[in-house]
Amino acid sequence: MNPVQSATRLLLVCGCVLIVTGASLFACYSHGASSPDGTGKFFMGREISKVMGHEGIDWLERDNREDEEAPSRAVAALGLKPTDIVADIGAGSGFHTFRIAPLVPRGRVVAVDIQPEMLAHLETRANALGLKNVEPHAGAVDGVRLPDGSIDLALMVDAYHEFSHPAEMLASLLSALRPGGRIVLLEFRAEDPNVPIKPLHKMSEQQIRLELEAAGFDWKVTHDFLPWQHMVVFEKPRTNH
């Protein structure tokens, strides 16, 4: 049963008690010894990774990112409409934000980040490019701070695995999306040992689906046409069935 179908219930998943109330998922996080690149905080059996800060802008904007991740193919696969309101969650340097903005000329891209340095960079670059439909937006570690039903698509590129409060963030996104709105995750494939990324900065399709489906999203499709990443698409249910 989908969590949105029940008023309040308890789930035991990977040794973690989850309290589902309506469309909200609250997690009893666990803590343990941290891995070299981890926080020691666990959610549904997964250790949350450390965050890459604004100092990593050069890596985000590296010249060979197209070869390694094929972001142009990922953006094309989103199937955006000109009027879509897109939230780029953990927008960082705006690598995807500024590729999406021209595709939604009558919509906008809300570039959500929690780091002031990233938000300042986003604003400066949007002004330099003359993009009026890019809106830098300060989120929080436990929510995107967007109005209910205000976005058509939430995109998270190599970001979700770093969220310190994933359950709260997913509940926030579920509220911010319109019924039938999509949430798309790009995450480096944990199943592939040849993907040269630190283990905690990868996620398996199984783990992604476990967490997103528990939060109330319906899985639609997983694309594996990208060189290193899963592209996993979910939808907010249109009704409570």
Distances (CA, A) of 38 to 117, 140, 199, 220: 23, 20, 10, 30
Cα separation, 109 vs 93, whole angstroms:
14
Cβ–Cβ < 8 Å for 167, 215: yes
Q: Does residue 171 sit within a domain?
A: yes
Segments forming the whole domain that contains residue 81: 55-235
Q: Does residue 64 sit within a domain?
A: yes
Q: Does residue 82 sit within a domain?
A: yes
Specify which residues 184 forms β-bridges with.
155, 233
Longest distance between any two alpha carbons in the chain, whole Å: 50
Q: Does residue 50 sit within a domain?
A: no
Counting every residue written for the chain, the total comes to 241
Host H or E run for residue 72: helix 71-77
Q: Does residue 41 sit within a domain?
A: no
- Structure token digits, residue 41: 């905080």
Cβ–Cβ < 8 Å for 139, 162: no
Spell out the per-residue pLDDT of the chain, length 241, in tens.
343 333 444 454 544 545 555 444 555 789 999 999 999 999 999 999 998 655 555 545 556 777 778 889 999 999 999 999 999 999 998 999 999 999 999 999 999 999 999 999 999 999 999 999 999 999 999 999 999 999 999 999 999 999 999 999 999 999 999 999 999 999 999 999 999 999 999 999 999 999 999 999 999 999 999 999 999 999 999 975 4
Q: Does residue 65 sit within a domain?
A: yes
Q: Does residue 27 sit within a domain?
A: no
Tokens 């990112």 locate to 65
Beta-strand pair 177-189/202-203? parallel
pLDDT of residue 23: 44
pLDDT of residue 239: 78
Q: How many domains does the chain have?
A: 1
Specify which residues 182 forms β-bridges with.
153, 235
Host H or E run for residue 152: strand 151-157
Other CB atoms within 10 A of residue 149 CB: 13
Residue 171 neighbours by CB under 8 Å, 6+ apart: 23, 24, 25, 26, 143, 215
- Structure token digits, residue 224: 């594996």
Q: Does residue 207 sit within a domain?
A: yes
Specify which residues 119 forms β-bridges with.
none
